[in-house]
Amino acid sequence: MNTIIYVDNNATTMVAPEVFGAMQPFFSERYGNASSIHRFGGTVGHDLDEARARVAALLGARPEEIVFTSCGTESDNTAVIGVLRANPDKRHIITTKVEHPAIRSLCQVLAKEHYEVTEVPVNRQGELDVGLLADAIRPDTALITVMWANNETGVIFPVETIADIARANGVVFHTDAVQAVGKLPINLAESPIDLLSLSGHKLHAPKGIGALYVRRGTKLAPLLVGGHQEHGRRGGTENTASIVGLGKAAELAAAHLDDENARVRRLRDRLEKRIIQNTPDCFVNGHPEHRLPNTSNISFEYVEGEAILLMLDELGICASSGSACTSGSLEPSHVMRAMGVPFTAAHGSIRFSLSIYNTDEEIDFIAEHVPRIIKRLREISPFVRGGAKPGTVTYFPQDKARDAH
Ligand code: PLP
């Protein structure tokens, strides 16, 4: 297989050549420690300042509100644990049923440690009922954490509205914006969001670098306790090369956000339309409009997602079933379950997530092959052979029980 067609950008992205170029000197001649007194290290400190300013500019934040971390997961953990530690008298967290494991698994651990967690459900289109969320607020609610955009479906949540509600109730609001940053315009100067997580490898910077926006005045205890780096908010010698890379990626994203995302949306829509037109019994998961411009999650009835992925892989096409973290397990994702996607369709869901590096030719190639793959797989599908007919909805046993009530 010579050519790769990469449409798995919600899992990770290619490092932009400009980002790679900006990072290279920090592996060789510019290896100084930014905390050193000597000029050799001090100049690296200036490079970090510049990177911080670039990340802040992408978010409409102040440079001093940006804390560099090692990844989106660390940013999420810092936000949640940091707020709880800073508000020890409050023990209630509100989140959603469709968060990434970086939040969801953490909340499940905290629920075993005497915290109470309310998970707000989503509807069939993956949208959140903001009224239900507001009703869940209690006097002891420490934090509301809601993702900006879902990694599996791309569905966008009204985080600014939710942040308004949180503020009106004196509750800190955090958003996991790992999938949103670089794909949606964000202006934190004009929003009541207190904390925001991002991850470099989702926006063409390397893996192993992230950032947490901490609005000035937000009470937050550090997760990594150590040196005075990041103004005492995150101990550990800075990953200078990756921070500079993230700064460059943020600069590129800010410069090209509107035009590149319009192009990506056009490609995504074309791919989706052609697949839907030419494949019976398939549908898009998630709200058709309130979605990231790069993400298409399509359910193909009566076929296994893993089988589709393998056949795509033979053609050099890299896509995903569910999120990168949940694929590999035969359980359909918690997101599909929360949306009430029927069993057979949830099992056959594929996520195509595009980037600015995809081309029209690539999209046409995928759109041409997907209907053929589905047709071939259906001919040998145990669902179809087992008697399920197109139009028959097959439920998870527990969903069926729920629907009966
Ligand atoms: N949050 C969301 C929504 C994600 O999609 C991901 C990664 O897939 C993460 C958090 C975790 O980010 P990282 O891989 O940088 O730890």
| Shared domain check, 265 and 153 | no
> What residue has token string 């995302």?
261
| Shared domain check, 315 and 262 | yes
- Kindly list the distances between the CA atom of residue 248 and the CA atoms of 201, 222, 237, in Å, as whole numbers in the listed order: 12, 26, 20
Half-sphere exposure in the Cβ direction for 344 (13 Å, CA) = 22
Whether residue 188 is contained in a domain is answered as yes
| Shared domain check, 209 and 313 | no
Q: Which two tokens stand for residue 168?
A: 């009106």
Residue 400 has pLDDT above 60, yes or no: no
| Shared domain check, 333 and 244 | no
| Shared domain check, 249 and 366 | no
| Shared domain check, 119 and 239 | yes
Name the nearest CA neighbour of 120 among 81, 87, 83, 166: 166
**Distance between CA atoms of residues 339 and 360, nearest Å:** 31
CB of 147 within 6 A of ligand 1: the answer is yes
Residue 257 is predicted with a pLDDT of: 93
**What mean pLDDT is predicted for residues 184-208?**
97
CB of 100 within 6 A of ligand 1: the answer is yes
What's the CA-to-centroid distance between 260 and ligand 1, angstroms?
A: 22
Per-residue pLDDT reduced to its tens digit, 11-53:
999 999 999 999 999 999 999 999 999 999 999 999 999 999 9
Domain of residue 368 covers 5-10+257-379
**Distance between CA atoms of residues 83 and 36, nearest Å:** 31
Protein residue with least CA distance to atom 9, ligand 1: 72
What's the CA-to-centroid distance between 72 and ligand 1, angstroms?
A: 5
Whether residue 393 is contained in a domain is answered as no
| Shared domain check, 244 and 330 | no
| Shared domain check, 90 and 76 | yes
Whether residue 84 is contained in a domain is answered as yes
Per-residue pLDDT reduced to its tens digit, 65-75:
999 999 999 99
| Shared domain check, 231 and 269 | no
Protein residue with least CA distance to atom 13, ligand 1: 72
Whether residue 400 is contained in a domain is answered as no
| Shared domain check, 194 and 319 | no
**Distance between CA atoms of residues 265 and 291, nearest Å:** 10
Residue 405 has pLDDT above 50, yes or no: no
Name the residues annotated as catalytic: 325
CB of 212 within 6 A of ligand 1: the answer is no
CATH number for the domain harbouring residue 110: 3.40.640.10
pLDDT band at 382 (very low <50, low <70, confident <90, very high): low
Name the nearest CA neighbour of 13 among 196, 262, 256, 181: 181
User: What is the total count of domains within the chain?
Assistant: 2
